[in-house]
């Protein structure tokens, strides 16, 4: 019953974040700045500490190496397989540019959704260890599910997507943690393996935040308020995760 309520809550918090982003679409540069800080904060204050903690049997340099691997893999995906060179023909260039942005939005949203799936899986596995640990992990996940909703909608809009596409990916992101929680009931994953997966996604999120969302947030906008929004995003995740511990 407890896991069921938590599963519903993860979906609800993600939807709330997404609807917030849709409601204040005219402030997307500020939302993007906040999202950048939140993504970076999740990587530094949630994913990386958890990865180091539950992968303590590995050398620290190995775990941080996996983080770097995640960063590099996402860089390769972004630069080599998602981005495409432009042609000299203006019409073809515009079509390719739109396709490039659509692919980038799909890549970002897919990464966020898979991370949400791992969140749900982490909640379920934590409850198998102890109810207290499960509750702490659940609170931390719920805290940044709101940001996940914002991040998903922002990623689609920044990639040139429309409201229908944003809602579709928001729906996916909202229910992937529910699937993760359900799956955790039937499988057992070694903590060390889960830790390395978290480290990999820490690298993904560092790339998304620092190399993608931060530059997008202040593009054609004053940097003052977007910078403040980014700092607030980092601070928000830091405070919430500390309160959840």
What pLDDT score does 125 carry? 79
Predicted pLDDT at 64: 96
What pLDDT is attached to residue 60? 94
pLDDT of residue 41: 87
Q: Give the pLDDT of residue 100.
A: 52
Give the pLDDT of residue 88: 42
In sequence order, what DSSP letters do the residues of 20-59 get, joined into one string?
HHHHTGGGHHHHHHHHHHHHHHHIIIIIHHHHHHHTTTS-
Q: Residue 66: give the domain boundaries.
A: 2-244
- The series of mean pLDDT values per 10 residues for the chain, 245 residues long, is 83 85 72 82 86 90 96 82 43 44 68 79 78 73 74 76 83 90 83 83 86 71 82 88 76
Helix (H, G, I), strand (E, B) or coil at 205: helix
Specify the pLDDT at position 62: 96
What pLDDT, on a 0 to 100 scale, did the predictor assign at position 216? 67
Per the structure, the count of domains in the chain is 1
pTM: predicted TM-score of the whole model, two decimal places: 0.67
Given a contact cutoff of 8 angstroms between Cβ atoms, the answer to whether 47 and 202 are in contact is yes
**Placement of tokens 């042609």 in the chain:** 87
Query: According to the model, what pLDDT value does residue 97 have?
Result: 47
């Amino acid at each position: 019953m407890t896991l069921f309520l938590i599963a519903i809550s993860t979906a609800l918090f993600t939807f709330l974040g997404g609807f917030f982003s849709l409601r204040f679409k005219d402030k997307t540069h500020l939302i993007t700045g906040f999202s950048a800080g939140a993504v970076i904060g999740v990587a530094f204050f949630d994913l990386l500490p958890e990865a180091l903690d539950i992968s303590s049997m590995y050398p620290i340099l190995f775990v941080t190496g996996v983080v770097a691997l995640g960063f590099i893999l996402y860089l390769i995906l972004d630069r080599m397989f998602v981005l495409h060179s432009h042609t000299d023909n203006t019409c073809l260039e515009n079509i390719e540019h739109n396709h490039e942005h659509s692919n980038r939005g799909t890549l970002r949203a897919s990464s966020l959704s898979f991370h949400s799936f791992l969140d749900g899986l982490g909640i379920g596995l934590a409850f198998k260890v102890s109810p207290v640990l499960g509750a702490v992990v659940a609170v931390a996940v719920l805290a940044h599910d709101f940001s996940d909703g914002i991040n998903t909608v922002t990623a689609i809009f920044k990639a040139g997507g429309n409201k229908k596409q944003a809602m579709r990916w928001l729906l996916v992101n909202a229910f992937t943690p529910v699937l993760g929680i359900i799956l955790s009931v039937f499988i057992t994953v070694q903590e060390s393996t889960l830790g390395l997966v978290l480290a990999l996604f820490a690298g993904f999120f560092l790339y998304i935040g620092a190399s993608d969302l931060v530059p997008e947030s202040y593009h054609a906008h004053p940097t003052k308020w977007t910078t403040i929004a980014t700092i607030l995003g980092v601070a928000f995740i830091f405070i919430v995760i500390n309160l959840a511990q």
